[in-house]
Structure 1
Amino acid sequence: MVEPPAGLSPAAAAVLLTLADPATGVALPAQAAARDWLAFHTGAPLAAPADAAFCVVAARPALASLRQGSEEVPEDGATLILDVPALDAGRRCRLAGPGLAAPVTVPLPVDGAFVAEWRAQMRRAPCGIDVLLCAGHRVIALPRSLSIEEA
């Protein structure tokens, strides 16, 4: 088992080991240990958050500040990997869309601004970003096609 460096949860580290490679720019927290760890294990280059394919942060940036993709290449939108304290507490949200047999209501560790930004992103579909919420060894994926409303 590969131990993640300080500043990365095991879940965020596993995501990076799975998805990052020498062709994908990654924005990381400022810790040198995280940068060295990523370079050693994946060869992924560092990038500014606005240019990164994967952006790993503990404090959420504005969703519109990250790569959005284009109508021709929507998959070029960034994936925001957000380390949070817990996944099972927070704002109750109703999720609906592809991948869900029926709408579900779950607590998400997001604020009202996130939900508003997400709604704005939905109006630009198929462009936008995907979000992975990571806590400990757990991940919740929020693909850009998912509808998120406050419950």
Structure 2
Amino acid sequence: MSTQSPAGAAQSTRGVIDAYLARLSERDLEGAVQLCVESVVWDAQSSPDVPWSGVRTGRDGVMEFFTTLHKHLKPEEFTVTHIVVEGEHGVIIGHLRDTVKATGNPLVTPFSAHVTVIDGQIVRYHLFEDTHALHRAMTER
């Protein structure tokens, strides 16, 4: 349990989220992963046809998520429109556009991610996106 005041926790949460997004934009995956606690829970549920789908734990699991995702998708646009923070909880809202390498299909989806930050590190990350659009982009030829 964090001993920070709610205002201090919100500021820390926002700072960690900003750092995470900056590292992603720089393609610094190792740096992004290092913002997570070793026991992080990374939840990106989707379809069984999506290789990076599922719950992973630990920094190695997060790195596996990103490595698998980048093996299958060519990123084209990742836009964050809102970040909402309350205490140790933050929500990132935006939209993205990628191309699925195997099918050539576009993936266009809004997304949100619920990020929990305690003592300056991400302890939980839960991704929400249009899983139907993702399934179609991965499977239709």
The TM-score range, normalised by the shorter chain, is under 0.3
Larger RCO: Structure 1 or Structure 2 (Cα < 8 Å, ≥ 6 residues apart)? 2
What's the TM-score once normalised by structure 1's chain length? 0.23
Query: Whose strand fraction is larger, Structure 1's or Structure 2's?
Result: 2
What's the TM-score once normalised by structure 2's chain length? 0.24
